[in-house]
Amino acid sequence: MEKVLILGASGLVGRALINELKADFDLYGTFSSSPLTSLSEGKSFRLEVQQIEIMRQLIGSIKPDIVISFLRGNFDDQLQFHKELALELRNSQSRLYFFSTTNVFDGDFTKPHTETDTPISESDYGKFKIECEKMLKEILDDRAMIIRIPAIWGKSSPRWNRVLETINENKRIELYSNLVYSNLLDVQLARQLRYIIENTLKGTFHLTSEDLINEGQFFEEMIGRLACEKELLQFSLFQGNENTHYFALKSTRKDLPDRLQMTNRDIISYLLGSF
- Provide CB contacts within 8 A for 164, sequence distance 6+: 226
Whole-number pLDDT of residue 230: 59
Whole-number pLDDT of residue 229: 57
Whole-number pLDDT of residue 274: 54
Whole-number pLDDT of residue 228: 59
Whole-number pLDDT of residue 168: 86
Whole-number pLDDT of residue 227: 65
pLDDT of 111-163, one tens digit each?
A: 999 999 999 999 999 999 999 999 999 999 999 999 999 999 999 999 999 99
pLDDT of 84-110, one tens digit each?
A: 999 999 999 999 999 999 999 999 999
Whole-number pLDDT of residue 224: 84
- pLDDT tens track, the chain, 275 positions: 899 999 999 889 999 999 999 999 999 999 988 777 788 888 999 999 999 999 999 999 999 999 999 998 999 999 999 999 999 999 999 999 999 999 999 999 999 999 999 999 999 999 999 999 999 999 999 999 999 999 999 999 999 999 999 888 888 899 999 999 999 999 999 999 999 999 999 999 999 999 999 999 999 999 888 765 557 889 999 998 999 999 999 999 999 999 999 999 999 999 998 54
Global confidence as pTM:
0.95
What span, in angstroms and rounded, lies between the C-alpha atoms of 180 and 159?
18
Whole-number pLDDT of residue 275: 47
DSSP string, the chain: --EEEEETTTSHHHHHHHHHHTTTSEEEEEESSS--TTS-TTSEEE--TT-HHHHHHHHHHH--SEEEE---S-HHHHHHHHHHHHHHHTTS--EEEEEEEGGGGTT--SS-B-TTSPP---SHHHHHHHHHHHHHHHHHGGGEEEEEE-EEE-TT-HHHHHHHHHHHHT--EEEETTEEE-EEEHHHHHHHHHHHHHTT--SEEE---SS-EEHHHHHHHHHHHH-TT---EEEE-GGGSSS-EEE-B------S-GGG---HHHHHHHHGGG-
Domain boundaries, the chain: 3-151+184-206, 153-183+209-274
| Range 3-151+184-206 classified under CATH 3.40.50.720 | yes
Alpha-carbon radius of gyration of the chain: 19
